[in-house]
Structure 1
Amino acid sequence: MNRPLSKIIPRCKQNIHPWQIRLSHWINLLAMICMIMSGWGIYNAYPLFPFTFPQSTTLGGWLGGNIAWHLATMWLMAVNALFYLLWGLFSGHFKRSFFPFSSKSVWRDTVRAFTFTLPHKLGEYNAVQRLMYVSVLLLGALLVLSGLSIWKPVQLSGLVWLLGGFGSARYVHFFAMSGVMLFVVIHVLMVLLVPKTFIAMITGGKKAHIQESTDE
C-alpha cells in the first residue's frame, strides 16, 4: 500500500547578503573613510572646539586638498547612497530587515546583549540593530543637509536658516558625523564578537530556504 506524499519540502541555498548590499557596503566604507579624514582636515582649519585632529589622520595635505577630496568623495557617496536607498525601498529590504521594532523590544534586546544572552542569526537583525540602522540612515540624511548648507550657504539660504544659521549648521554636521562614527565603532565591535558576519559580507553567505507545498 502506497502512502500519499502530503508535503514536499525542497531546500535551496540563497545569499544572506545580496550583491547589492555587499557592493554598497564596501563602496560606502571607502567613501566614508575619505570623507571623515578630509573632513577632519577641513575642521582643523576652522576648529569648533579647543582641539584638532592629528595631521596624519587627515586627507589632502592642506585645506584646498582637504576640500577637493571631500567634494570628490561626496559624489561617490551620493551615487552609492542613491543606489542603496532605491534598491532598499523597491526590493522591500528596508521594510523586511529594519522594521518593526519598539521601545520594549529594543530594551529587551539591549538587556540580552549586556547579559550575553542575545541570539544572533546571520541575515536577521535584532531590535537594537534595527534601531541603529534606521538611526544611522537618519544621521546620514542630516549629514547631507548640513553639508549642503555649509557648501552652498547662499544658494541654500533657506536650508541654512532651518538649521539655525551657518555656524549652527557646522555643529549639526560635526555631531551627525560623530553619531555615524559611534555607529561604526559599535558595528566593528559586533563584527569582532561575531566574525562570521565579516565573511558573509564578502562572500554573501548562504542560508537554507525552505518552501512547503502539498501534493494531492
Structure 2
Amino acid sequence: MKVIKEKHSLAMRWAHWINFPLLGIMIWSGLLIYWANDEYEVMIFGHRFIKFFPEWFYNLLHIPHRLSEGMAFHFLFMWFFTLNGIFYVLYTLISGEWRELWPQKHSFKEAWLVLLHDLHLRKTAPPQGKYNAAQRIAYSAIIVMGAGSVWTGLAIYKPVQLNWLTWLMGGYHLARIWHFALTLGYVMFFVIHVIQVIIAGWNNFRSVISGFEVINEPPKPTAHDEEKS
C-alpha cells in the first residue's frame, strides 16, 4: 500500500534551494576574481600536469578581464550565502535535525558499504534512517566547508582589518589556497550529489521539492485477518 509521508521540512528545503543558486554565483564570481591572478598549478619535477585554468576555459565562459564585476558580485552575495548558512545551522540545532545529519560512530564504515551498494558490488545496503551514512558525512562536511569558505574569504577580503583571522588561516597566501581548494571541493560535491540523486531515484528528488515522499507500507491487518490467525 502506497503512503505519502513528510520527509523534508520547509526550512530545510528553503535553505537547500536558496543555497544552490547562491553557491553558483559565488563560484562564478570567484572565477572572475581568480582570473586576475591565476597562479595555481600542479607541477611535478618541473613538469606542469594541471593548470587552473587553461585559456580556453576562460574564453568559453567569457570570464577574461571582469575583475571589478566579479568582486562586486562576490562581496555582495557572500552575505546572503553566509546568512543562509547560519539560518540552516541554527534550524538543525533548534529542531534537533542535527541528529539525523551528523555522522555516527559507524558512519565511515557504513559509508563504504553504501558506496559498494551504489556501484552494484554489494547486494544489500546498510540500514539507514532519514539519511544513509554517506549522506551524513557529505552533508556535515558541506557545512564545515561553508564555514571554511567564509573564514578564509574574510581573511582574504580584509587581511589588515581582520589580521587575527588571516593569521589563524595561516596567512594571506595560505588562506587563498584554502579558499580555492574549497571551491574545487564544492564542484566535486555537486557532481557526487547529482549522481547520488540520480541513483536514489525520482521519489527522493520529489521529496526535496515537495517535502513528501511516497513509500510502500504493508497493509494493516484487519479484524478479519486477526480472526483467521
What is aligned with 1:125?
131
1:32-64, CA deviations, whole angstroms, 9 ceiling, x for partnerless residues?
110000001111111132443424536797111
2:23 to 32, 39, 45: 32
Contact 1:191 1:198 in 2 (8 A): yes
Taking the aligned partners of 1:175 and 1:108, their CA distance within structure 2 comes to: 28
Correspondence list, 1:145-156, <5 A: 145-156=151-162
Going from structure 1 to structure 2, the CA distance change for 1:61 and 1:197 (only over 3 Å counts) comes to farther
Specify the SS of the correspondent of 1:54. helix
CA distance in 2, matches of 1:202, 1:122: 21
Write the letter of the residue equivalent to 2:166: V
Residue 199 of structure 1 pairs with residue 206 of structure 2: yes
Question: Which of 67, 71, 82 is 2:71 aligned to?
Answer: 67
In structure 2, the residue matched to 1:212 is none
Q: Deviations over 1:116-161 (max 9, x none)?
A: 6454999721111111111111111111111010001001112212
Question: Residues 16 and 205 of structure 1 are in contact (CA less than 8 Å); yes or no, is this contact kept in structure 2?
Answer: yes
* Structure 1 segments of 4+ aligned residues over 4 angstroms from their partners: 58-61, 118-123
- Aligned-pair RMSD on alpha carbons? 2.6
Residue of 88, 99, 110 corresponding to 2:115 = 110
What SS does the corresponding residue of 1:17 show, helix, strand or coil?
Answer: coil
Instruction: Report if the CA contact (8 A) 2:113-2:122 is conserved.
Output: no
Gaps of 5+ in 1: 1-11, 210-216
> Percent identity at matched positions?
33
TM-score of the superposition, structure 2-length normalised?
Answer: 0.77
- Equivalent position amino acid for 1:34 in 2: I
| Corresponding pairs, count | 198
Mean Cα displacement is larger for which, 195-204 or 101-110? Answer: 101-110
Q: 1:167 and 1:47, CA in 2 relative to 1: closer, same or farther beyond 3 A?
A: same
Inter-partner Cα distance in structure 1 for 2:127 and 2:204: 9
Aligned-partner SS, 1:161: helix
Within 5 Å, which residues of 2 pair with 1:23-102? 23-49=14-40, 50-52=51-53, 53-57=57-61, 62-102=66-106
- Could you tell me the TM-score, scaled by structure 1's length? 0.81
Deviation per CA, 1:77-97: give whole Å up to 9, x if none.
Answer: 111111111101110111133
Name the structure, 1 or 2, with higher relative contact order (CA <8 Å, separation 6+).
1
- Aligned partners of 1:70, 1:145: CA distance in 2, in Å? 14
Work out whether residues 101 and 140 of structure 2, in 8 Å CA contact, stay in contact via their aligned partners in 1: no
Contact 1:122 1:197 in 2 (8 A): no
